[in-house]
A and B are shown apart, each in its own frame.
Chain A
Amino acid sequence: MSPNLAEENLQTIRTLMERSALYRRALAPIMLFAGALGIIAAVIGLLLHLDSMRSFGTLWLGTAGIVIIGAFLIARRQAVQDKEPFWSPPTRRVGQALLPPLFAGMFLGLIFAFVGITNPSFITFFWLLFYGCALHSSGFFMPRGMRCFGWIFIGFACVVLCILAFLSPNAGISAHWLMGFFFGVLHLAYGAYLYLTEKKILSRES
């Protein structure tokens, strides 16, 4: 066995371990898609004055549903292009990690929206919190700071709660602005960051 072969073997081991353990679908297009839809939904909400709990919940839960379906289709298309199995063990683990907090957040949103227990700003806090937890738990099977991104959402959720608690729930902050910033701008920013860094890594590897 030549030393070069030893190096090749190590590279093969590394690739196979990554394939087995990490979700490798490119996240940048999914993040950009989610961010763009988040901003569009916020603009629609602000322009049409969808401020009642029911209209707010319908708009944002509908947007979340479209984002989930879109993300699924983007990931599937990438898997087909790369000739890799879509429902691979890492994809399954990421799905399992995302499901409980996302389900809890959406269920809470549905109940709050259609029973009218609270106001839109408070539901923003819950959604940020649950979404941050979902990202953080999925980050154990993903590269590139997904857990940090989850912590950012959790941190912002706490900030939103503090603002609501100390400035009263109707402090003049539109919940659409909050949702647009957190679910729109943050996703766009993270998508742009991933897009640039992935491009760099790809050019380094080729």
Chain B
Amino acid sequence: MNPELFLQLDRVIHEKGRLAIMSMLAASPELSFTEMRDALEMTDGNLTTHIRALQQESYVSVTKSYQNKRPLTTCSLTASGRKAFADYVNLLEQIVQQNKSI
């Protein structure tokens, strides 16, 4: 087995919480902070920390607006985030394929 593949996995995405956030955002044009928090059963602080980490890598963009006079925070994947996520999934698939062929 080629250990190189493991080393190529994006460490930022590879963390469980951030991977979950990226997966949800990859399948949706945008999601609100509360929708993600409820779906992933994370605390506000935990989700904020993960989103901030993804924002620092420019994988996620955050938009703040108002809906019915209440603040609304929505997140979406950036183009580089989408590419990084696709690369990550491709690598995982390669690892699985490699394991099957052994």
Q: Tell me the A residues contacting B by CB distance below 8 Å.
A: 1, 3-4, 6-7, 9-10, 12-13, 16-21, 85, 88-89
Kindly state whether residue B23 has any CB partner on chain A within 8 Å: yes
Contact of B93 among A1, A10, A12, A88 (CB under 8 A): A10
Q: How far is the CA of A20 from the CA of B95 in the complex (A)?
A: 25
Q: Tell me the B residues contacting A by CB distance below 8 Å.
A: 1, 6, 9, 19-20, 23-28, 31, 35, 38-39, 89, 92-93, 95-96, 98-99
A-B contact count (CB 8 A): 56
Query: In the bound complex, do residue B35 and residue A89 qualify as a contact, i.e. CB atoms below 8 Å apart?
Result: yes
Q: How far is the CA of A89 from the CA of B31 in the complex (A)?
A: 8
User: Which chain B positions have C-beta within 8 A of A13?
Assistant: 19, 23, 89, 92
For the residues of B in contact with A, the DSSP-based class is: helix
- Determine how close the nearest CB of chain B comes to the CB of A77; give it in whole angstroms: 19
Contact A20 to B31, CB < 8 A, known contacts A3-B98, A6-B95: yes
User: Which chain B positions have C-beta within 8 A of A6?
Assistant: 92, 95-96, 99
Contact A85 to B39, CB < 8 A, known contacts A17-B24, A19-B24, A20-B28: yes
User: Which chain B positions have C-beta within 8 A of A89?
Assistant: 28, 31, 35
Query: In the bound complex, do residue A16 and residue B35 qualify as a contact, i.e. CB atoms below 8 Å apart?
Result: no
User: Which chain A positions have C-beta within 8 A of B25?
Assistant: 20
